Amino acid sequence: MRTSLPADVRRAVCDRHGVFAAEYAVLAVGVVVVVASALVGFRGTMLNAVNGVGSAIQTTQSSIASR
């Protein structure tokens, strides 16, 4: 059974599932942009921190192994 065109249009206007999906997609892209910007902006600091942790681990392993 086929409904009338105005009923189809009214149903399409009231159906917000696609709009919600689009809003979530835009929000997800925004989060990705913010995280990527933070990674690029703090790259040097993050590399220094990771290298410092690596050095501390190596120093600890060396001191434990020499006992």
The predicted-structure confidence for 28-45, as pLDDT tens digits, reads as follows 999 999 999 999 999 999
Residue 15's φ and ψ, nearest 5 degrees, are: -75, 110
Are the beta carbons of 46 and 39 closer than 8 angstroms? yes
Residue with structure tokens 């979530």?
A: 24
Overall pTM > 0.85: no
* DSSP label of 15: -
Q: Which residues of the chain have pLDDT under 70?
A: 1-3, 12-13, 16-17
**What is the per-residue pLDDT for 41?**
94
| Displacement of CA 60 from its chain's centroid (Å) | 34
**What is the per-residue pLDDT for 2?**
65
Largest Cα separation within the chain, whole Å, is: 86
